[in-house]
Amino acid sequence: MRGWIVTGAIVVVAAAAIYLLSRPERIEITLAPVERGTVERTVANTRAGTIEACKRSKLSLPIGGQINDLLVKEGDHVKEDQLLITIWNLDRKARVAEAGAAVNSALRERESQCVTARSDTREAKRFTRLAQEKLVAADIADQAQAKAEASAARCESMKAKELQAQANLEVAEAVLAQTELRAPFDGIVAEVTGKIGEYATPSPPGVPTPPAIDLITDDCHYISAPIDEVDASEIVVNLPVRVTLDAFRDREFAGVVTRISPYVLDLEKQARTVEVEANFVDLDESVHLLAGYSADMEIILETRNNTLRLPSELILDSNYVLVINASGYLEKRKITLGVANWRYTEITAGLVEGEKVVANIGAAGVVAGARAVVGKQGDDGDH
Encode pLDDT of 35-48 as tens digits: 999 999 999 998 89
Compute the chain's Rg from CA coordinates. 43
pLDDT in the model for residue 306: 94
Stretch 227-249: mean pLDDT: 92
pLDDT in the model for residue 376: 65
Stretch 82-94: mean pLDDT: 94
- Domain 31-52+220-374 and domain 57-88+180-216, same fold? Reply is no
- The structure's pTM equals 0.67
Question: Which element (helix H / strand E) includes 39?
Answer: strand 35-44
pLDDT in the model for residue 104: 93
Measuring CA to CA, how many Å separate 31 from each of 214, 254, 272? 56, 33, 41
Measuring CA to CA, how many Å separate 92 from each of 66, 99, 122, 168, 379? 14, 11, 45, 13, 87
- Pick the range with the lowest mean pLDDT from 83-92, 176-185, 366-375: 366-375
pLDDT in the model for residue 219: 87
Residue 4 CB-density burial (10 A; 0-12 exposed, 13-18 middle, 19+ buried): exposed
Flag whether pLDDT at 139 surpasses 90: no
Segments making up each domain of the chain, as ranges = 31-52+220-374, 57-88+180-216, 91-159
Stretch 163-186: mean pLDDT: 94
More confident residue, 326 or 380: 326
Flag whether pLDDT at 205 surpasses 70: no
pLDDT bracket for residue 7 (50, 70, 90): low
pLDDT in the model for residue 361: 87
Q: What is the mean pLDDT of the chain?
A: 87
Segment 68-85, tens digit of pLDDT: 999 999 999 999 999 999
pLDDT bracket for residue 21 (50, 70, 90): very low
pLDDT in the model for residue 27: 86
pLDDT bracket for residue 347 (50, 70, 90): very high
Name the 3-class secondary structure at 295: strand
Flag whether pLDDT at 382 surpasses 50: no
Architecture of the domain made up of 31-52+220-374: Beta Barrel (2.40)
Question: Which element (helix H / strand E) includes 162?
Answer: helix 138-177
- Pick the range with the lowest mean pLDDT from 171-175, 202-206, 215-219, 224-228: 202-206
Segment 261-295, tens digit of pLDDT: 999 988 767 788 999 999 999 888 888 899 999 99
Return d(Cα 74, Cα 72) in angstroms, integer. 7
Stretch 237-255: mean pLDDT: 92
Closest CA to 330 of 26, 6, 19: 26
- Give the helix, strand, coil percentages of the chain, each rounded to 5: 30, 35, 35
* C-alpha atoms less than 13 angstroms from C-alpha of 18 in its C-beta half-sphere: 6
pLDDT bracket for residue 381 (50, 70, 90): very low
Work out the percent of the chain whose per-residue pLDDT is above 90: 51
What CATH code is assigned to 57-88+180-216? Answer: 2.40.50.100
pLDDT bracket for residue 5 (50, 70, 90): low
pLDDT bracket for residue 49 (50, 70, 90): very high
pLDDT in the model for residue 98: 94
